[in-house]
């Protein structure tokens, strides 16, 4: 079943790169009592994700903060080493966007946003979406119809909805 507005996100374990290597991140704890924008992409360094989706949140980060958003999180079904490198390559890390790995696609599958595209080498990947979450509850949910487009899931679109 696909996640929807009003639903509580599952308390997933994601991974980020810390100073000493991979570190577990309890999503439920990270969201507790906070307003967070989360966006997910099919893959780090893939064309639309790299040239459109991440840049849209970098451009709008200050505007999200002005609306009371405590943090912007990018989730991808990539390992934490790739997410670290991608955050550095795009400027997302420098902009303060948190890059989290859902390497085993457990969170993605739990919210019903997984898909496979074997011809493109994408298996158990995340569909493209953006959401605003308050205290772990989805307040705004913008899933894309196609993984190759970034229209309603872009930073500007989510910002306009809050």
Phi, psi of 17 (to 5 degrees): -85, 125
Q: What is the 8-class DSSP label of residue 12?
A: -
| H/E stretch holding 47 | helix 47-48
| H/E stretch holding 24 | strand 21-26
Q: Which two tokens stand for residue 102?
A: 């859902």
Q: Distance between CA 75 and CA 5 in Å, rounded?
A: 18
- Active-site residue among 3, 17, 31, 49? 49
Query: Is residue 49 annotated as part of the catalytic site, yes or no?
Result: yes
Cite the active site residues: 49
């Amino acid at each position: 079943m696909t996640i929807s507005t009003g639903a509580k996100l599952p308390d997933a374990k994601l991974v980020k790169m810390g100073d000493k290597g991979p570190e577990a991140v309890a999503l439920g704890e990270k969201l507790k009592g906070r307003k967070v924008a989360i966006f997910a992409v099919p893959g780090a360094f893939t064309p639309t994700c790299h040239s459109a989706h991440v840049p849209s949140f970098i451009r709008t980060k200050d505007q999200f903060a002005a609306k009371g958003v405590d943090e912007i999180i990018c989730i991808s079904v990539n390992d934490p080493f790739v997410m670290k490198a991608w955050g550095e390559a795009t400027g997302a890390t420098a902009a303060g966007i948190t890059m989290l790995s859902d390497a085993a696609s457990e969170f993605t599958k739990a919210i019903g946003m997984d898909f496979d595209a074997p011809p493109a080498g994408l298996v158990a990947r995340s569909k493209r979406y953006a959401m605003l979450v308050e205290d772990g509850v989805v307040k705004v949910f913008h899933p894309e119809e196609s993984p190759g487009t970034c229209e309603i899931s872009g930073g500007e679109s989510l910002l306009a909805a809050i």
